[in-house]
Amino acid sequence: MNFSNKLFSIQKKSNSLLCVGLDTDPKKIPVHLRSKKNGVLEFNKQVIEATKEFASAYKINFAFYEVMGKNGWAIIEKTRALLPTSAISIADAKRGDIGNSSSYYADAILNKMEFDSITVAPYMGKDSVLPFLGNKNKGVFLLALTSNQGAFDFQYKKIGNKRLFEEVVTISQQWNTNNNLGFVVGATKSTDIRAVRKLASDVPFLVPGIGAQGGSVEDVIRHGCTNDGFGVLINASRSILYASSGKDFAEAARSEALKLNNEINFFRDKYF
Amino acid sequence: MNFSNKLFSIQKKSNSLLCVGLDTDPKKIPVHLRSKKNGVLEFNKQVIEATKEFASAYKINFAFYEVMGKNGWAIIEKTRALLPTSAISIADAKRGDIGNSSSYYADAILNKMEFDSITVAPYMGKDSVLPFLGNKNKGVFLLALTSNQGAFDFQYKKIGNKRLFEEVVTISQQWNTNNNLGFVVGATKSTDIRAVRKLASDVPFLVPGIGAQGGSVEDVIRHGCTNDGFGVLINASRSILYASSGKDFAEAARSEALKLNNEINFFRDKYF
């Protein structure tokens, strides 16, 4: 089954558009785990266990692990192994290089580490992205319109009558012969999410930027979903991971994931 | 001393604009090293020893190491430790994420792993790049005009009367308050290197794309150097690493590095 269909099938079964972001910061996990040798892994394990009923995806942000050096890399591998098959795994690694190098990144992350999908940067064009799209079972979330302030520096610049992010979305879909391409579209960009959806009627969006970054769940659902009320993965990281700083962190993460998934589904019911 | 001045000082002392790219592929190293546990590290060590007289920089392409998992990460750390202080170290990792995540990548690669500089992708704008520019002793080579075919997909698109790569070069220099920003400019793009130099009269360029990718050393020197015949780092990877597939690989790498550095200096003498 190609990646897009697999994601749709998982989301339908779990009735969830929620992606839990494992941006685990060793300095922010509860005190009783901070001093433990495998504290971060134990934290991830408990968060995964507590939230898996409400999550259709987990996203591991490599930045938070690379800062721990080779041990961090080992924690990524071990955390990946803990992810349930009931959810899609996303390597939030934002890779992208000339074709030859990209093929090594794709082999590392999609094959060897067995992630279902990866975030990829578009600046270097087709041959930098294709190696990640070669296996139809594995997906790419290409950066299109990101959630940060820096999105305004280049992504909104006009190329003819399109903005750069619209150009990226238009051009890159020509590479999507395996139906495994998606886009990163920031929740903070409100109605511009609709502009991307107009250009890409049925590809999945990975949507960061709710919570700490200020994006609205209602806007994402209303402007980002496909016509059937699917097609988006709404990521939440800090609000779930650090819902409590005490020993009840997993329970608190579960409550937060449930609450957010309910909010998402409330708006899906409202608009679809 | 800020990064740009440090690079200039090293290049002047070594009379070299050569960057040796350690894109070491475990499947391409000589047979007698392939089966050894530390074969890749031993290979890197000998290449570094053999070429350091002629190199002003070493670039480690992370893709080739990440494919080896946590062991690959350990080899990056150990290879970094082997690099001589007479050369600049470049983490060719092409990172870039929202500010909060970029600050973890910067901490991982520039502080913890102690690389002097890193390649960064520009698509996510200012806050994705600034965390890498915060320490004036550490440098960023921002992707501007890359050496691959995919550069034509977005980098050449017109924004007003500029092309995207020119827009990136213009805007990003406003962030260069620490004099530690450089650009990646592909050797395959010939006279367009001059377009970048016109917009950025005195920042260093990291120039991949000679050798296997087909770029010309003469064009790079003529169009890319600053007025004093400095300002570029010409990278060669495969031509040096795999100059011989036998036990004499280090000696062959040395000859190839010397030959290339002589060619570079021949054209510097011709044009400056």
Mean pLDDT over A31-59 rounds to 97
- Angstrom distance (rounded) from CA B209 to CA A97: 13
Where do we find the tokens 């987990």?
A58
The answer to whether the beta carbons of residues A110 and A119 sit under 8 Å apart is: no
Could you give the CA distance from residue A213 to residue B196 in angstroms, rounded to a whole number? 35
**Subunit contact A105:B63, Cβ cutoff 8 A:** yes
Using an 8 Å Cβ cutoff, are B105 and B119 in contact?
A: no
| Residue ranges of B 124-143 with Cβ closer than 8 A to chain A | 124-129, 143
User: Total domain count for chain A?
Assistant: 1
Chain A residue with CA closest to B125: the answer is A150
Indicate yes or no: CB of A143 within 8 angstroms of CB of B125.
Answer: no
B146 touching A (Cβ < 8 Å)? yes
ipTM at complex level: 0.97
- Contact list in B for residue A74 (CB cut-off 8 A) is 70
Which of B60, B65, B66 to mutate: most A Cβ within 10 Å? B66
What is the number of alpha carbons within 13 Å of residue A56 lying toward its C-beta? 25
Distances (CA, A) of B263 to A123, B160, B221, B240: 32, 39, 10, 14
Instruction: Specify the pLDDT at position A223.
Output: 97
End-to-end CA distance of chain B: 26
Residues B196, B200, B203, CA angle at the centre, nearest 5°?
A: 110
Q: Do A99 and B150 touch (CB under 8 A)?
A: yes
Over residues A22-41, the mean pLDDT reads 95
CA distance A36 to B63: 31
The neighbouring-strand residues paired with A142 are A120, A183
Using only the alpha carbons of chain B, give its radius of gyration: 18
**A211 pLDDT exceeds 90?**
no
Tokens of B181: 């920003």
φ, ψ for residue B117, nearest 5 deg: -160, 170
Chain A residue nearest residue B130, CA to CA? A150
Q: Do A70 and B74 touch (CB under 8 A)?
A: yes
Each residue's pLDDT tens digit in chain B (272 positions)? 999 999 999 999 999 999 999 999 999 999 999 989 899 999 999 999 999 999 999 999 999 999 999 999 999 999 999 999 999 999 999 999 999 999 999 999 999 999 999 999 999 999 999 999 999 999 999 999 999 999 999 999 999 999 999 999 999 999 999 999 999 999 998 889 999 999 999 999 999 999 778 899 999 999 999 999 999 999 999 999 999 999 999 999 999 999 999 999 999 999 99
Q: Is A144 helix (H, G, I), strand (E, B) or coil?
A: strand
Residue A155 sits at the chain B interface (C-beta within 8 Å):
yes
Rounded to two decimals, the pTM is 0.98
Q: What share of chain B is helix, strand, coil (3-state, %, to 5)?
A: 50, 20, 35
Nearest-CA residue of chain B relative to A163? Answer: B159
Beta-carbon separation of B63 and A122 below 8 A = no
Answer for the pair B69, A113: CB distance below 8 angstroms, yes or no. yes
pLDDT for B30 equals: 97
Q: Say which CATH number the domain at B54 has.
A: 3.20.20.70
Instruction: Find residue A92's DSSP bridge partners.
Output: A61
Amino acid at A228: D
pLDDT of residue A212: 76
How confident is the model at residue B212, as a pLDDT?
76
Tracing tokens 């690079």 back to the chain, one arrives at B7
Q: Does A24 touch chain B (CB under 8 A)?
A: no
B37 in active site: no
Beta bridge partner(s), residue B153 = none
The span from the CA of B52 to the CA of B121, in Å, is: 28
CB of A19 within 8 A of CB of A55? yes
pLDDT mean over A146-174? 97
Q: Do you know the residue count of chain B?
A: 272
pLDDT digits (tens, 9 = 90+) for A183-194: 999 999 888 999
Q: Which domain holds residue B72?
A: 3-271
Q: Which of B17, B8, B46 is nearest to B29 (CA)?
A: B46
- In this complex, do B155 and A63 lie within 8 Å of one another by their Cβ atoms? no
Helix H or strand E encompassing A28: none
B123 touches chain A (CB under 8 A): yes
Residue ranges of alpha helices (H) inside A145-216 are 151-154, 164-172, 192-199
* CB-CB under 8 Å, B77 with A70: yes
pLDDT band (50, 70, 90) for residue A45? very high
First to last CA, chain A: 26
Catalytic hit among A28, A94, A136, A162: A94
The mean pLDDT of chain A is: 97
Mean per-residue pLDDT for A55-79? 97
Distance CA A224, CA B219 (A): 47
Residues 102-121 of A with CB under 8 A from B: 102, 104-105, 107-109, 112-113, 121
Strands A162-163 and A158-159 turn out to be antiparallel
Q: b vs e for B155-175, b when ≥16 Cβ sit within 10 Å of the residue's Cβ? A: bebebeebbbbbbbbebbeeb
